[in-house]
């Protein structure tokens, strides 16, 4: 008869490794006794400061928003009469009908090159005729009455 000797097969090795792993995990438990921690002192509740009110837009920001809408309306108007009425409405925001409109065509190192200066009436009629609003407002100046006294545009 043959005596069986301990042969290590892959299955036996896995079982042995698993047993050692379980023993190691069980042996790592902390042996310290749990000590009762002192109760923390009550803390007064402090209410958070109210959030600051949202910043109100400046007069320039409001004027820019309105003018962008007017420019889009004039360029996208369905007929000449609607465009003309929108132009008359928009002109109410300007100090006069000859308010200069400057269009920046190039800027380098802080030096701006402008297209030929025009007036707001000419620019609004240009929008009406071409039906394209290719510029956006980059700078606006208001007079003491809150009306636009100068407008600077750039290409979109």
Helix (H, G, I), strand (E, B) or coil at 106: strand
- Residue 33's pLDDT is 57
**In this structure, what is the dihedral angle of CA atoms 47, 48, 49, 52, given to the nearest 10 degrees?**
-140
- Residue 3's pLDDT is 57
- Residue 54's pLDDT is 78
The residues, any chain, with a CB within 8 Å of residue 115's CB and separated by 6 or more, are: 102, 103, 104, 105
- Residue 49's pLDDT is 73
- Residue 149's pLDDT is 96
- Residue 51's pLDDT is 72
The residues, any chain, with a CB within 8 Å of residue 90's CB and separated by 6 or more, are: 67, 70, 71, 74, 120, 124
CATH of the domain at 115: 3.10.450
The range of the structural domain enclosing residue 84 comes to 59-155
Domain count, the chain: 1
At 55-89, the pLDDT tens digits run 888 989 999 999 999 999 999 999 999 999 999 99
Positions in the chain short of pLDDT 70: 1-9, 19-40, 42-43
In a domain, 29, yes or no: no
């Amino acid at each position: 008869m043959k005596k069986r000797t301990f042969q290590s097969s892959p299955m036996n090795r896995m079982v042995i490794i698993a047993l050692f792993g379980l023993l190691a995990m069980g042996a790592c438990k902390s042996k310290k006794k749990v000590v009762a921690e002192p109760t923390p002192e009550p803390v007064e509740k402090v209410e958070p400061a109210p959030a600051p009110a949202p910043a109100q837009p400046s007069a320039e920001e409001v004027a820019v928003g309105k003018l962008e809408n007017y420019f889009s309306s004039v360029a996208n108007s369905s007929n000449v009469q609607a465009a003309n009425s929108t132009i008359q409405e928009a002109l109410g925001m300007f100090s006069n009908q000859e308010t200069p409109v400057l269009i920046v065509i190039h800027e380098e190192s802080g030096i701006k090159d402008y297209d030929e200066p025009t007036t707001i009436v000419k620019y609004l009629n240009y929008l009406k005729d071409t039906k394209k609003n290719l510029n956006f407002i980059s700078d606006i100046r208001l007079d003491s009455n809150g009306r636009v006294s100068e407008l600077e545009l750039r290409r979109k």
